[in-house]
Structure 1
Amino acid sequence: MTLRKPTRREFIGSAFCAPFATSLGVTGARSDTFPSRNINITVPTGEGGGSDRDARLFTEILKTHLDTNFEFGFYPGASGQVGYEFYMNNREPDCHNLIVSFMGAEVIVLTLQAPHIQIGRDITFFQQIMSEPMAIFSTPDSGIATLEDLVKKAQQEPMNIAVPRLPHTSSIGMLALGEATGAEFNLIPYGGGGPTAMAVVTGEVPCAAMGLSTILSVADKATILGIFDNVNPIPDITSAPLVNDVFGSKIPPLKSGRSWAIHTKAIEDYPDRFEILKSAIQKTATDPAYADAVAATGVPRELIYVAGQEETMEFADNLVGLANRYKSLLSAG
């Protein structure tokens, strides 16, 4: 093969055009400004619920750290499964699509109802932004003033307990408490935190087990009986005892956490985009403006919990283990 030496005009022309060709992405190297369009947020619950509220609140602050807008889609059903199925099957794994997760319930649902969506292999929870323990509460009119009262009655006859969903960390707490004390609880799912709290307030059921923040929304009518954790995160608000301290049990801490999740394939195929996204979300989670916005909704600042990808995935793995341990009971009915 014979190589021809370029003329002076050809050389100058090619040198002049090269920078422009590179900037326009016509040299073979893809230009990848991120984000290049709005980011879609899949919400696996109904519009107006806690996930909607928390995601909108967070993204309002996130806009100051990431130059884009956010579009929300709501896909409730099957305790969150419908939303995850939609996200995995209909959203491109290109880092322009996220799902907001209420991890406690939804990880359990994925484990029990959608084993084809595997945590880690298919979906990655990469940033936790809130954490709340499960708790049990009654009302002053229920006749149940303490945790000991509840267990004593449930040892004598089965007690109806409201829970947001059957596959839920609060359900695991009540099942574990029954195992530890010989009490018998009938779990009645009410399809969400708000309806569960109201079932107790109206006297439809004597007690409920659910996330602490929702109980606080009816604090003027609630008696918090016990907390499923190793520490009370809000001692200035409630002096409720820890369940394990009352009965000497060894129930693991039972929490739920709000977090952001993404296709694992998006992380693998677009690592640079993911780092930009993850960095912006981390900055938002630690932004004082976010803490102020949370407090303005009535949720204690103490429930803000910032954890990175490794810790968040460890939390998810622990929930998978709990779901499998109580699988037969959580799947009943």
Structure 2
Amino acid sequence: MTKHAKSITRRSFLNSSAAVAGAGALGLGTASPAFAQEFPSRDFSVVIPTGEGGGVDRAARAFTRVWSDIIGANFEFGYYPGASGQVGYELYLNRRDADVYNLLFGNIAPEMIMYATQNPDFQYPEDFLYLAGIDVDDSVIWVAQNSKFETIQDLIEEGQSRTITLSTSRLPHPSTIGALLLAEETGMDVRMIPYGGGSAARSAAVTGEVDGCATFMSSSLSLSDQIRFLGVFTGRNRVPGMTNEAPPLNEALGLDMPALQGQRTWALQRAAYEEYPERVDTLLTTLQEVFDAPEYKDAVKQAGTPWEFIEYTDAEACQESAQTIIDLARRYQDVLSG
């Protein structure tokens, strides 16, 4: 299994030193188990806070194609896009029973930016928890192949004497946070320009309308013959051969920035987490088995995701990622909110 951290069940999460401190604040440590019964005894319902057919949907379907055989139940999907995920989250938390049969599958970073900047009708982590991440998609900066910027150092040096323009699909995006943090750390001047969609943002950078693009890595791999990746906002480059050996920015620049990436993740209402510990343990145990199933690798390939992006992230690491994004989104709220 490709892992970000050790395998974890509900009990080990609550009993770990980091989680015990968090459990006191969340009220998770004192719940008594609900009456045990066969689980699952019916199908699961999954709320996806983005549109049908998108990357989140494809990832969820690839995963549950295998998970359903392991856990012994099917997964039914409902799509509730709108307001950067807010519509789906509010529906899930306000209109779905907290019984572990109702799950949410989302993307931590974009949706925690939404939480930090839009004042939604729910509280994190009081109302829900991220249980497990299934993949990662690192934020990157790249330029057109014919750009004069050969390295990230070249871009930074130029940005210390003039404003560097970077396209993005939308301002409230983890790669925007990455670019702003990089500018703050290095003294470069950056202007983020939203294009209302990934395709338009990428086209603007390829044609030289802007100096470069800040985005998720996966969306740009098909352009590798037209672009030059300058750096990755995480500790390692997962696919160096597909990204002209672009370095991790911390390594290249001697910085200590947090990882800025997409993490598609399973989430559950806090009330369900407290009330049904045995069900949660079954959910987590069977979920982890998916990563070792050969069928999952085939499903991921069919979904068009590089296997190198598949990474199990446990509950503790998910909460750390979510809180990091919340803190950074509030720090840069004026820019992210446009």
Normalised by the length of structure 2, the TM-score is: 0.81
Partner of 1:208: 213
Task: Provide Cα deviations, 1:202-221, integer angstroms capped at 9, x if missing partner.
Answer: 55434211121222132232
Give the structure 2 partner of residue 46 of structure 1.
51
State the 1:134 CA deviation: 1.1
Distance 1:139 1:297 in 2: 27
CA deviation map 1:288-316 (0-9, x unaligned): 32133223444322221112222222222
Aligned to 2:80: 75
8 Å contact kept, 2:202–2:213: yes
Counterpart selection for 2:159 from 149, 154, 157: 154
Deviates more, 1:196-205 or 1:237-246: 196-205
Taking a change above 3 Å as real, the CA distance of residues 45 and 196 of structure 1, as seen in their structure-2 partners, is: farther
Alignment match, 2:326? 320
1:97 to 2:111 alignment: no
1:108 maps to what in 2?
Answer: 113
Q: CA separation in 1, counterparts of 2:197 and 2:71?
A: 32
Amino acid at match of 2:241: D
2:150 to 145, 152, 158: 145
Q: Which residue of 1 aligns with 2:242?
A: 237
CA distance in 1, matches of 2:297, 2:95: 33
Q: Secondary structure at the match of 2:160?
A: helix
Residue 178 (structure 1) aligned with residue 183 (structure 2):
yes
Query: Which ranges of structure 2 fall in alignment gaps of 5 or more residues?
Result: 1-33
Deviations 1:60-116 (A, max 9, x none): 111111222222211112222222112112222111111111111111211222365
Residue 166 of structure 1, aligned match among 171, 187, 196 = 171
1:67 and 1:312 mapped to 2: Cα distance?
A: 26
- Alignment-derived partner of residue 282 in structure 2: 276
Amino acid at match of 1:91: R
Contact map agreement 2:62 2:303 (CA 8 A) in 1 = no
CA distance in 2, matches of 1:140, 1:102: 30
Give the counterpart letter for 2:223 in structure 1. Answer: V
Secondary structure at the aligned position of 2:126 is classed as coil
Q: Percent identity?
A: 40
What number of residue pairs does the alignment pair up? 304
Residues 133, 227 of structure 1: 8 Å contact kept: yes
Which residue pairs with 1:121 in the alignment?
126
* Contact 1:160/1:185, CA 8 A, preserved across alignment: yes
> Structure 2: which amino acid aligns with 1:283?
E
Kept in 1, the 8 Å contact 2:90–2:121? The answer is no
What SS does structure 1 have at the residue aligned with 2:214? strand
Q: Equivalent residue of 1:109, what SS? A: helix
Q: TM-score, normalised by structure 1?
A: 0.82
In structure 2, the CA distance between the partners of 1:297 and 1:125, relative to structure 1 (3 Å rule), is same
SS in 2 for 1:65: helix
Q: Is the 8 A contact 1:217 1:298 kept in 2?
A: no
CA contact (8 A) 1:161 1:185 kept: yes
Matched residue, 2:308: 302
Larger radius of gyration: 1
CA contact (8 A) 1:286 1:306 kept: no
Give the structure 2 partner of residue 288 of structure 1. Answer: 294
